[in-house]
Amino acid sequence: MNGKQLAGEQAAQYVENGMIVGLGTGSTVYYSIVALGRRIREGLQIQCIPTSKQTEHLANELSIPLISLKDVEKLDITIDGADEIDPNLNLIKGGGGALFREKLIASLSDRLVIVADQVKTVERLGAFCVPVEVVPFATDVVARTISTMDGSATLRCDQEDVPFVTDNGNYILDCNFGHIEQPLQLDRELKQHIGVVETGLFVDMVGVALVGSPDGVSVLERK
Ligand SMILES: O=C(CO)[C@H](O)[C@H](O)COP(=O)(O)O
């Protein structure tokens, strides 16, 4: 079994009867969602909120009960993936473009459990570009602002140069700031600019990270 599958499946064990569960997005949390589907068929009773249309589709295929945010004030737990994890369990997320809903759901959750392959662990965030969701009309304005912050921004596009559109109808700027010394400060600074919807910097949000390798899963708790 590969690291993603080991970590993903182990995270499903954190979910208990009666919980409201946030379902993240990506190829690692996929294994958690499939494992939850299995547990539901065996009798587990939970209600879930997906963080993307892709995950909503998967949950529906697996007959996982979904609940709307309008009926829920907070969640017990969210399981999600990550693109980078630093030693303080701060993250870069949004490689799949779902960062806004992922961050909103995580912020409403008592516990955020991250699942990742060990290649996602880094000493300092920043080798992976920071995805920044922007209102399309403001894209060029935000990109210019980022260049004044010693960063560079690239509009996320497909192979035909068509911009990627998020589930919220926005664009993504993938932003390179080099190594990030102060992720919280950078997140706050980015969000001051009109047109920025949200960033993929998740600071002080994670409760536990399950990091998988073919040899097993390391459980990293926030210090
Ligand atoms: O943030 C995300 C999507 O917006 C994903 O959780 C992140 O990209 C990790 O994905 P994967 O588990 O496929 O490597």
- What domains lie within the chain, and their CATH numbers? 3-122+203-215 (3.40.50.1360), 130-199 (3.30.70.260)
Q: How far away, in angstroms, is 223 Cα from ligand 1 center?
A: 23
Contact 37, 151 (CB under 8 A): no
| Residue 191 annotated as part of some ligand binding site | no
- What ipTM is given for this predicted complex? 0.98
> Using one digit for the tens of pLDDT, what is the confidence trace for 184-217?
999 999 999 999 999 999 999 999 999 999 999 9
**Is 98 annotated in some ligand binding site?**
no
In the numeric block, the tokens 């399309």 are attached to 136
28 CA: nearest ligand 1 atom? 12
Atom of ligand 1 nearest to the CA of 99: 4
pLDDT, tens digit, 9 for 90 and up, residues 68-124: 999 999 999 999 999 999 999 999 999 999 999 999 999 999 999 999 999 999 999
| Cα(191)–Cα(185) distance, integer angstroms | 10
Q: Are 26 and 95 in contact (CB under 8 A)?
A: yes
Count of H helices and E strands in the chain? 6, 13
For residue 30, give the nearest of 59, 3, 2 by alpha carbon. Answer: 59
pLDDT tens for 116-162 read: 999 999 999 999 999 999 999 999 999 999 999 999 999 999 999 99
CA distances from 14 to 8, 59, 83, 114, 160 (A): 11, 18, 21, 11, 41
pTM metric for this prediction? 0.97
Helix (H, G, I), strand (E, B) or coil at 222: coil
Q: What does the block give as tokens for 25?
A: 């997005």
Tell me the best of 4, 23, 32, 83 to mutate to test the pocket of ligand 1, counting ligand atoms within 8 Å of each CB and taking the most.
83
Pocket of ligand 1 (CB under 6 A): 24-28, 80-83, 93-99, 102
Mean pLDDT of the chain: 97
Which of 25, 130, 198 for a ligand 1 pocket mutation test, highest count of atoms within 8 Å of Cβ? Answer: 25
Distances in Å between the Cα of 222 and the Cα atoms of 90, 168, 199, 205, 206 are 9, 31, 21, 9, 7
Cα 5–Cα 8–Cα 10 angle in degrees, nearest 5: 105
- Whether residue 223 is predicted with pLDDT greater than 80 in this model: the reply is no
